[in-house]
Each structure stands twice: as structure tokens, then as C-alpha cells.
A = this chain, B = another copy of it.
Amino acid sequence: MVVVEGLAGLHRSHGCGELTAADAGKEVTLMGWVHRRRDHGGLIFIDLRDRSGLVQVVCDPKSGPAFQKAEEVRNEYVVAVRGLVRRRPEGTVNPKLPTGEIEVVAEEFRLLNRAKTPPFYIDDGIDVDEALRLRYRYLDLRRPEMQRLLYLRYRTTRAIRDFLDARGFWEIETPMLTRSTPEGARDFLVPSRLRPGEFFALPQSPQLFKQILMVAGVERYFQIVRCFRDEDLRADRQPEFTQLDMEMSFVQREDILKLVEELMAYVFRETLGVELALPLPRLTYREAMDRYGSDKPDIRFGMEIVDVSDLVAGCGFKVFAEAVARGGVVRGLCAPGCAGYSRRELDELTRQAAVFGAKGLAWMAVTPEGIRSPIAKFFTAGELEGLVARLAGKPGDLLLFVADTETTAATALGALRLEMGRRLHLYDPEQLAFTWVTEFPLLEYSAEEKRYVAVHHPFTMPMEEDWPLLDSDPLRVRALAYDLVLNGVELGGGSIRIHRRDIQEKMFNLLGFTPEAARDKFGFLLDAFEYGTPPHGGIAFGLDRMLMLMARRDTIRDCIPFPKTQSGTCLMTAAPSGVSPEQLQELHLRSTARKSTNPA
């Protein structure tokens, strides 16, 4: 058996994937993994793989010991090869491989380590259960497509840092062991050994600390930072996730939006070579809801929602007329080329609308002969013409209507719009369509808590022109809050913060907090606000989700080096796990779990 050897005397000269025809004639030293081995015509051909790519190594029996060692290797063995680069013989050039014009003739060969047969191929596009990939993450990450994702993630954070450095931002670390936050999602807790009965919390975001840093005069802060939320697990959420967090002083909303647009343009150019057209489009919350039925509209395609309430206000179709009479709306959209939908297809769409609370879905098929619809008889010819014209229906199109409250009509049609857009391939999946959504409502009414609650958070500044409404009609007050949306997914959101004490007091008052309650909930931040707080605002982005969109993957787990499963466990390390009774005792805790569910 060939002995495993060390590196002594060998120094890697090149990455496998770096060699080109220009290197022909050079002596090189390569180190990497055996990707494939083929024996052919008495020679051994090894595709040698490292981080930089693949190259073909040829071992000839004339090389003696090198050939003997090569005879023993199998896939994923780790080897070092010293040899000469030569152009491949006529007819054996591989145009699919960047190094396909050359090969390396081995003169010295060392077996650096053996490998068991991996549980799946170390290659792209494998069809393997995700659980197996996660368990053997070290092999999964060895696959070229996963290496590209690791590298894209690194290049993205690097580009973010380069851009923000040039703009005078300082990256500043905030604590991971901090205080349980009074509002928001559920905290992960960390028991304190030194202070019995007390706990740290892992941060859900550095929100309070970044505002503190503005009070501290840092002026331009950012951080690429781990955050934690102990949420009930939904598709594609992770208990720990990474956030790009930013905050600036002495700025207005426009300054932040402009800077973020330039940041995105820089990052997408540097990492994907994609040029974004600036400024990015903007929609107010109102427009986004009216036209797209969503506060995170996918604007890669049109098929916008259209209000027809005025056209049907007094019509003969009672469902429509009464919805309008009750203060609701009738809205529709035009699905191009769908006039031939079957009863079953229409029923399916109706079910989908019902998921979002719509009590029904009306349809009209536009045909060369006119409207075909079970409800056509309730409308005058002029009304039908008006509807078709408003929705820009052409023969062959299908018009879909929802008559309901404004919110239900918007969200149900918004969901139908997305479904139809997908079905009808109305957009290029490669396209990147950013949009800002601005002017979110400041408050919403919580029926559960019987009070107003902040849509963003209690430190978000209301728009100055709406200040008078704070007293008269709080739900109509718009906030200086903004989300950045890409292809229908929220990438991030932020706001200008309140820095004036009078407005903050008004806000707490609206939220139903006494000054004492406010102090109890947000004590140290309110203290800090008393000592000269500059006007400031910021934004935060979910890095994992952004990468998923950039890499066009279906799950954020592919974009996180070591993700948790959907049930919040790590299959590679088998975390979480049981701990010893002594460890719990030191933490002044007793477990009330019936039994450990530790799979170990």
C-alpha cells in the first residue's frame, strides 16, 4: 500500500483551474482532490480539482514511482503532483473545460491523504436528499456549485464593505450577550452563571445599539452581523441569520435611499456584473397595494390590478353593486390569453383567492364575439364595454374580479396576479426588478391589544406633512419608513427615527404607553436620547435572502455555509444536544423536559 506522505520540499505553484495554453512547457506543482480517474491506453488520467477548478493530469508508466502511486488513487484522494504542462494532443482538447487545451504530465506524485467513498458525487446538479447534504456538509460544500456560492457570499460582503468604507462608514461590533428586548419576536436566552436567575438574550437585531452609536457621535455605522430569532419555524427562516445593518446621522430620507441605491448598484456590478438602472423605481405603500396588491410587489411584469368600483357602483350585479355600496371595492385584472380556461381551472383560481379571504371570484372571458361570463347578463352592454376598456382586455383575455373590502380585494388579486404571472411566464426569471416601497402607515390598530401598534417600530418618524393627523386621524399618518423589494421579496427596510422628544412623547401616547411604561420598556435608549441625539435613520438587509435572490437559489440554506434544518437543528454536529446535569446546576437551572429528545 502506498504510504501517505507529507508536503516537505513541495510548494504549490498554481491552482489547477488557472493553467492555460500559455503555461505549456512550465513545471508546476499542483495540490488537490482526485475528481475522476480514468485508465486509458495504459495511461492514468486524473482530473485534479482544487478551489480554482479542474485540470487533467496524465501519468505514464515510464514515470515509475509516480505511476505506481497514481494507480492507487480513487475519487477524493488528496494528492500533490509535480509535472510539466503540455498542450493536449490534437483531437483531445476539451472546449468545455477552461484548462481543456492543456494537461499536466506527472513527474512526481504524492498521496497526501486517502478518502472513503463519499455518500454522493462531488459534482454539480446532483439529485440528493438535502438531509444527506447537510449531514455531510463538508462534502456538499466541496461541490463546485457550493464553492461558487461560498465565494459569491464572500464577494458580496467584501463589495458591501468596500463601498461603505469609501463612504465613510465605520464597522462597529455590538454585543451578542445583551438584554432581552421588550417587543419583537421571541429571544434566545443565555443563562448567566454568575448572576443566578438572570439571563442574557441574543440580539434580534442591533437596532438599539445602532441608535446608541448615533447618540455616541459615530455618524455613519454599519455592521454585517449575526442576529437571532426563536421563531416558530416557517419555510426558509433560520434561527440565526446575517444582517447588513446601517445607520446614519444628519440625513434625510432621500440621502439614505440614494446611498442604498448606489450600494446595490456597486454590489451587483462587482459580484454579478449586472448594471442596475438608477434611480430605482419607487412606489408608495398605497400605490403598491392598489396596483400590485402587495407591499412587496413583483414588478418584473405588469398585469396590474385595476379598480372598477365607479363603473359597477350601480350595476345590476348585486354582488358588485353592494360591495361598493358597503364602502368596499370591486377590482380586477386581465389575464392575457386565458379566455379558454376550463371550469376546473377557474375553480382553482377561485380557491386560491379564497385563501386570502375573498368570498368569490368573478370572471369574464373576452372573445371575438363579446363577453362570455355567467354574470354577463347582469350588466348593460355599455357597462361591459367599460370594464373591458378599463382592464384593456383583448379578445382571448380573461378578466378576473374580486368585490370585497379594499384590503381583501387587494391581497387576493395580488396573490392571483403572482400566480398568473408565473403560469403565463410573464417575466424573465433572470431579470432583477428592484423597487422601493415608501410611505408605510405609521400605525395600525391591533384588535387583540385594543390599541394602536407601530407598523415599523415606536422610534419611526412620521412624515412632517402628516403631523397634524397624529391627533385627528392617526391611522392616516404615514411614516418615513421604506422597504427595498427585489422580485417580490423584501430585501430590507428602515426608517428615519424620531429624535425629537415632543414627537416621541406623542408617539408613546398614541401607542397607549404612560411615560413610566415607556421608560420601563425602552429605558436606556430613552436616557440616551436626552443627551444630544442627532437626526438619524437607517436600514437593515437580510443578507442570506439577498444572496438567495442573487444566486437564484430556491432556499436560503444553500447560501449559508452551515445552516440549520427547517426544524432548527444542525445535522452535521447534531446540535442542539443534551448537556450534563452539572452544567445545568452551575447555571442554577433544572430541566422540566420529560425526556431528552437527543438523537445521539
Contact = CB atoms under 8 A, between A and B. Distances in A.
Interface of A: 4, 6-8, 11-12, 31, 33, 49-51, 76-78, 80, 112-116, 118, 136-142, 147, 150-151, 153-154, 157-158, 161, 165, 170-180, 186-202, 208-209, 212-213, 215-220, 226, 228, 230, 233, 239-240, 242, 249-252, 255, 464, 499-502, 524, 528, 530-535, 560-562, 564, 567-570, 572-579, 583, 585-598
A198 B576 contact: yes
A591 B197 contact: yes
Most chain B CB within 10 A, of A50, A158, A165, A189, is at A189
Contact of A197 (B8, B161, B190, B578): B578
A177 B562 CA distance: 10
Contact of A161 (B153, B158, B534): B158
Contact of A209 (B118, B150, B199, B562): B562
B587 A189 contact: yes
B178 A570 contact: yes
Contacts of A200: 575-576
A137 B216 contact: yes
A6 to B, nearest CB: 7
B500 A113 contact: yes
Tell me whether chain A's interface is mostly helix, strand or loop, or mixed: loop
Nearest to A242: B173
A315 to B, nearest CB: 47
Given A161-B158, A198-B597, A500-B113, A531 B76 contact: yes
Given A574-B179, A577-B180, A530 B115 contact: yes
A574 B197 CA distance: 14
Nearest to A214: B138
Given A250-B7, A530-B116, A598-B198, A573 B179 contact: yes
Contacts of A151: 170
A398 to B, nearest CB: 44
A535 B6 contact: yes
Nearest to A585: B592
Given A112-B535, A179-B577, A213-B561, 12 more contacts: A4-B501, A31-B249, A112-B499, A113-B534, A114-B501, A153-B172, A154-B171, A177-B188, A178-B570, A195-B568, A196-B592, A585-B592
B189 A579 contact: yes
Contacts of A564: 175, 177
Contacts of A562: 174-175, 209
B524 A573 contact: yes
A218 to B, nearest CB: 7
B532 A199 contact: no
A569 B199 CA distance: 11
A528 B138 contact: yes
Nearest to A527: B136
Contacts of A239: 177
B51 A176 contact: no
Contacts of A179: 570, 573-577
A557 to B, nearest CB: 13
B250 A532 contact: no
List the 10 shortest-distance A-B pairs measured between CB atoms, nearest first: A197-B593, A196-B593, A115-B532, A141-B216, A179-B575, A198-B576, A76-B532, A192-B576, A179-B573, A138-B215
Given A4-B500, A217-B50, A250-B31, A194 B567 contact: yes
